[in-house]
């Protein structure tokens, strides 16, 4: 399989390089862009063949291939054997390149019927990126190197990556979102180069950003859910540096999807919109560099590699090239109104999102800068991020609730009346939080969440009464509803959490937070070559299957706890096995209660579903052609809510 995979990788990379030349000739007007499109298709076929060959090598346990010898194992279940394709550095680059090549073909076909004149530059950028990652696969990131002597078995993937099915979907979704943000970036390069940053550019860039934003959102939510279900500490977001760099492009892309509305209404914020598109793409490259250069120690990060300097060069070249092109080609900003109260709210929204992004970026990069300067290791913990992100997020949540009800024109008394019901809901939420003893943060957070929920539901009901009814228009409101549900779940689960450590012997039981916990037995095993001890537990008379367990990996000798969770609409019961004595059967189990945390995943699904709705085809007579409808529908609310003003 090694020879087949290398040949397919060579074909994919060679086709991308040929396509790069063809796209350059098309930009010069010497060739038609169809030649570059054909090369892009050939490149995608080559990388698809390479990925298929790697999956086949993993499934057949071909340990003569270096990557299989690194992550493969005969005892790994089939699902996680396939998922091992992206469990280590070289395989993740292969998946990244495959998705990028597929996105390139999709973008070429999409533009062929929508904006064929933009294809040459877009293909030039996308094929250049594909060729870069292809060269990495043929050089320092080569997964096909032969191994001699061939081992009889391999260590398998990181055990933490083979504990939950979400690892089969979380990285591909995240990668798809990352590579998808290259399309609006390429459209922006075309707009700058040809001086056509017009309404059509804004429409195309917004739709392309939305298409990337949806899988990126799902990838982040799936990663948080995986962390909650696997790592055993009970949280879903640890402000891990690798988590942070994945969040950064989501924040700037979300800001662009809002600010594009102002561009549609007034023609303003052109430079700001260009900056947000460029920042979103470059931050995906920063995330790639941080996770694949070996500078971070994280369960999410990959090992030290020789590709780090090359990725750093790509980041630097992209940043310098984007800034230089913008300085030389960006037209003067057109003065004018930002669009009334709605436009002001959107500008405030953008400032808050960028503030969060800057906070996260500074806290993530500061330890790396300190280490690079004097070699000392420092860390920036969760309190730093939460002190800033928490209050800013509460204000942002309020703006997301109020914004869709604000007019683009003048203020009216009718708009003010729409805040009355959400304000009452906020008061009730604050009173409930205070009565439950959630503390000041819980009171403010739940009040903001209730305000946002009530305002968003009211706006959705008003939208449902409009005629003609467009299924695509409520996309932003559905996304805002998901955000409000997530916020409420985060506040309730965080402020209402309780946990207790129990010492139990076989047959003993205890009452914790209104739940009866009974230990039935402990049993050992050797899954995937590791030593594992599992506790059979009843929660309120119902067995948890599987139960919480401790696993010691043969390669590292480290023990890690895999929790058992009993989910429910009003709260989860979360059990982690902290210690066990196989001789006596005594165990120490941490029992935690997380109120309403399951709604976090529901809210994340609604958030992404709002973007899906915004991508649905609209009726041709629903809006004039040159209006950028999708910009406001993704996360910004309805296109127009009658205000009487």
Question: Which residues of the chain, if any, have pLDDT below 70?
Answer: 292-305, 335-337, 372, 411-412, 467-473, 525-530, 553-558, 618-645
In a domain, residue 628? The reply is no
Query: What pTM value is reported for the model?
Result: 0.90
Other beta carbons within 10 Å of 416 = 10
From 470, 512, 497, select the one nearest 638 (Cα to Cα). 470
What whole-number distance in Å separates Cα of residue 327 and Cα of residue 320?
A: 11
Which range marks the domain in which residue 523 is found?
498-594
What are the Cα distances from residue 116, in Å, to 121, 122, 211? 11, 10, 19
Provide the pLDDT for residue 617: 77
Provide the pLDDT for residue 21: 96
Provide the pLDDT for residue 640: 35
In a domain, residue 385? The reply is no
> How many domains does one find in the chain?
2
What whole-number distance in Å separates Cα of residue 229 and Cα of residue 224?
A: 9
- The sign of the torsion formed by the CA atoms of 460, 466, 469, 470 equals negative
Phi, psi dihedral angles at 142 (to 5 degrees): -65, 115
Contact 60, 1 (CB under 8 A): yes
In a domain, residue 346? The reply is no
Helix or strand holding residue 132 (H, E):
helix 119-138
In a domain, residue 581? The reply is yes
Contact 93, 132 (CB under 8 A): no
Domain end position, chosen among 130, 162, 194 = 162
In a domain, residue 604? The reply is no
Model confidence over 591-643: pLDDT tens digits? 999 999 999 999 999 999 999 999 987 654 444 333 333 333 333 333 333 33
Domain end position, chosen among 594, 610, 627 = 594
In a domain, residue 364? The reply is no
Contact 217, 275 (CB under 8 A): no
Helix or strand holding residue 581 (H, E):
strand 572-581
Domain end position, chosen among 594, 611, 636 = 594
Contact 252, 190 (CB under 8 A): no
Bridge partners, 504 (sequence order)? 587
Provide the pLDDT for residue 641: 33
**DSSP code string of 264-275:** HHHS--HHHHHH
Contact 54, 91 (CB under 8 A): yes
In a domain, residue 18? The reply is yes
Q: DSSP letter at 65?
A: B
In a domain, residue 461? The reply is no
């Amino acid at each position: 399989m090694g020879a087949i995979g290398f040949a397919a990788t060579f074909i994919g990379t060679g086709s991308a390089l040929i396509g790069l030349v063809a796209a350059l000739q098309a930009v010069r007007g010497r060739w038609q862009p169809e030649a570059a499109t054909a090369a892009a298709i050939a490149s995608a076929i080559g990388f698809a063949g390479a990925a298929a060959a790697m999956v086949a090598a993993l499934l057949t346990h071909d340990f003569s291939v270096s990557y299989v010898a690194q992550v493969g194992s005969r005892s790994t279940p089939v699902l996680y054997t396939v998922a091992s394709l992206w469990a280590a550095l070289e395989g993740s680059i292969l998946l990244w390149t495959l998705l990028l090549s597929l996105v390139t073909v999709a973008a070429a076909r999409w533009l062929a019927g929508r904006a064929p004149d933009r294809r040459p530059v877009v293909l030039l950028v996308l094929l250049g990126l594909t060729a870069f990652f292809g060269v990495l696969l043929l050089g320092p990131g080569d997964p096909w190197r032969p191994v001699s002597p061939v081992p009889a078995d391999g260590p398998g993937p990181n055990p933490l990556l083979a504990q939950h099915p979400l690892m089969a979907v979380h990285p591909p979704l995240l990668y798809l979102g990352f590579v998808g943000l290259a399309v609006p970036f390429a459209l922006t390069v075309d707009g700058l180069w040809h001086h056509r940053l017009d309404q059509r550019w804004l429409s195309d860039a917004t739709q392309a950003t939305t298409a990337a934003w949806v899988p990126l959102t799902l990838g982040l939510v799936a990663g948080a859910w995986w962390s909650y279900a696997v790592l055993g500490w009970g949280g879903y977001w640890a402000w891990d540096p690798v988590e942070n760099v994945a969040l950064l492009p989501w924040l700037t892309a979300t800001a662009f999807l809002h600010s594009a509305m102002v561009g549609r209404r007034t023609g303003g914020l052109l430079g700001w919109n260009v900056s947000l598109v460029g920042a979103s793409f470059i931050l995906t490259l920063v995330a790639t560099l941080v996770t694949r250069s070996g500078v971070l120690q994280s369960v999410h990060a990959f090992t030290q590699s020789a590709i780090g300097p090359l990725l750093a060069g790509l980041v630097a070249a992209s940043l310098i090239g984007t800034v230089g092109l913008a300085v030389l080609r960006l037209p003067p900003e057109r003065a004018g109104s930002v669009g009334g109260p709605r436009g002001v709210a959107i500008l405030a929204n953008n400032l808050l999102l960028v503030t969060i992004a800057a906070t996260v970026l500074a806290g993530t990069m500061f330890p790396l800068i300190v280490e690079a300067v004097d070699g000392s290791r420092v860390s920036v913990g969760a309190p730093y991020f939460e002190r800033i992100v928490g209050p800013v997020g509460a204000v942002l949540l309020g703006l997301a609730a109020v914004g869709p009800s604000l007019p683009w024109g003048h203020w009216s008394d009718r708009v003010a009346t729409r805040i009355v019901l959400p304000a009452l809901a906020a008061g009730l939420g604050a009173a409930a939080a205070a009565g439950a003893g959630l503390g000041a943060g819980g009171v403010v957070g739940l009040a903001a969440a209730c305000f946002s929920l009530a305002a968003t539901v009211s706006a959705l009901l008003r939208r449902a009464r409009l005629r003609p009814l467009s299924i695509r228009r409520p996309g932003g409101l559905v996304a805002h509803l998901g955000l409000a549900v997530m916020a409420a779940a985060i506040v309730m689960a965080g402020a209402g959490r309780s946990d207790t450590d129990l010492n139990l012997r076989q047959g003993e039981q205890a009452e914790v937070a209104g739940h009866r916990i009974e230990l039935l037995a402990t049993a050992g095993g050797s899954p995937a070559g590791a030593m594992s001890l599992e506790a059979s537990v009843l929660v309120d008379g119902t067995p948890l299957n599987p139960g919480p367990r401790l696993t010691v990996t043969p390669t590292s000798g480290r023990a890690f706890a895999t929790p058992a969770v009993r989910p429910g609409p009003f709260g989860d019961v979360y059990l982690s096995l902290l210690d066990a004595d196989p001789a006596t059967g005594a165990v120490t189990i941490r029992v935690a209660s997380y109120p309403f945390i399951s709604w976090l995943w529901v809210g994340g699904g609604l958030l992404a579903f709002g973007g899906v709705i915004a991508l649905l085809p609209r009726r041709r007579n629903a809006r004039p052609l040159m209006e950028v409808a999708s910009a406001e529908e993704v996360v910004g609310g309805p296109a127009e809510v009658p205000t009487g003003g």
